[in-house]
Amino acid sequence: MPRKTNTEKKSDKRGTRTREARTPRPKPKIDFTLDALDYKNTNLLRTFVTDQGRILPRKYTGLPAQYQRRMTTAIKRARQMLLMK
């Protein structure tokens, strides 16, 4: 009589829990040039700021480094000129 083998795989790892993954933020497509990243263009700049006024990091925006640096300076200038919160 053949031996019965257990086909189910058991995980020997302790403390493994299945976490629900966060839904990633939608990444905007770069359809503007560096010239459009200006402190006066508040409609564009508001897409890269949260409701609390925090600047979104590159991880969420998907912008290249040069665009991200110019965007942060433009947002900070717009805040100083009281164009944005």
Q: Which amino acid is at 24?
A: P
Model confidence at 29, pLDDT cuts 50, 70, 90, reads confident
Looking at residue 47, its pLDDT comes to 92
- How many alpha carbons fall within 13 Å on the CB side of residue 22? 4
pTM for the complete prediction? 0.66
pLDDT value of position 46: 95
User: What is the pLDDT at residue 27?
Assistant: 63
User: What is the structure's pLDDT at 24?
Assistant: 74
Please tell me the distance from the alpha carbon of residue 49 to that of residue 69, in angstroms, as a whole number. 14
DSSP symbol at 73? H
* Section 57-69 average pLDDT: 91
| Residue 53 and residue 46 in contact, taking contact as beta carbons nearer than 8 Å | no
| pLDDT band of 17, cuts 50, 70, 90 | low
Q: Measured between alpha carbons, how far is 85 from 35 in angstroms, rounded to an integer? A: 22
Strongest mean pLDDT among 13-22, 30-39, 75-84: 75-84
